[in-house]
């Protein structure tokens, strides 16, 4: 698994949970996305979650002009919100940030998904993960890089993420 930590793409790079570049439109973007997803066998590079639906692609270096296959990787909706923390925190209002956790960010995603499938509440999950010292979002990659992001069960400001996230919480 690739190491996961909260960061953000420039706002122009983000067009929603299933499409995160504006440089390529329509067919070109779909073709690129499909070739990356197929290469990675639809498995998220950050949490190993496998799904045929709602997986998207992430530009590893943050540059959506860099369409080289080596710069592209498959990402699930939860990890996508953590990599797009600005959207997760400020636009969707669905992501919380903490200074302390008993687990790595990659494990937080895996455990959140598992515990939510088991019907655990957000509070139970926060306790299990040892999430402490909640802090606000700041537009600063260095500040974010040492924090832990928690994707809550809230549906988000626009509900755009709800279906994609809920898909991952089902067996």
Nearer to Zn ion, 23 or 42 (CB): 42
* Span 39-98, contacts to Zn ion by CB under 5 A: 44, 46-47, 49, 76, 79
Burial of 136 (0-12, 13-18, 19+ CB in 10 A): exposed
Stretch that binds Zn ion, among 37-45, 91-99, 130-138, 162-170 (CB under 5 A): 37-45
Is 10 or 48 the residue whose CB approaches Zn ion more closely? 48
β-bridge mates for residue 96, sequence order: 150
Alpha-carbon distance of 167 to 139, in angstroms, equals 29
Binders of Zn ion: how many residues, by CB under 5 A?
A: 6
Q: Which is nearer to Zn ion, 13 or 105 (CB)?
A: 105
How far apart are CB 5 and Zn ion at their closest, in Å? 13
Long-range interactions of 47-50: CB distance < 8 A, separation 24+: 47/1, 47/4, 47/76, 47/78, 47/79, 47/106, 47/109, 47/110, 47/113, 48/1, 48/110, 49/76, 49/78, 49/79, 49/109, 49/110, 49/113, 49/168
**Least Å from the CB of residue 142 to Zn ion:** 23
In the bound state with Zn ion, the residue whose beta carbon lies nearer, of 57 and 79, is: 79
37 binds Zn ion (CB under 5 A): no
Contact residues for Zn ion, defined by CB under 5 A: 44, 46-47, 49, 76, 79
């Amino acid at each position: 698994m690739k190491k996961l930590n909260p960061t953000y793409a420039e706002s122009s790079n983000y067009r929603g949970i299933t499409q995160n570049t504006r440089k390529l439109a329509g067919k070109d973007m779909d073709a690129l996305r499909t070739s990356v997803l197929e290469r990675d066998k639809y498995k998220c590079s950050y949490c190993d979650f496998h799904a045929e639906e709602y997986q998207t692609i992430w530009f590893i270096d943050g540059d959506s002009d860099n369409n080289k296959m080596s710069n592209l990787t498959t990402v699930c909706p939860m990890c996508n919100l953590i990599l797009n923390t600005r959207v997760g925190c400020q636009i969707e209002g669905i992501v919380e940030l903490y200074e302390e956790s008993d687990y790595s960010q990659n494990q937080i995603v895996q455990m959140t998904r598992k515990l939510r499938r088991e019907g655990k509440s957000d509070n139970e999950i926060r306790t299990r993960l040892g999430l402490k010292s909640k802090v606000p979002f700041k537009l600063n990659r260095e500040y974010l890089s040492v924090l832990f992001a928690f994707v809550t069960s809230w549906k988000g400001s626009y509900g755009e993420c709800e279906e994609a996230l809920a898909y991952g919480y089902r067996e």
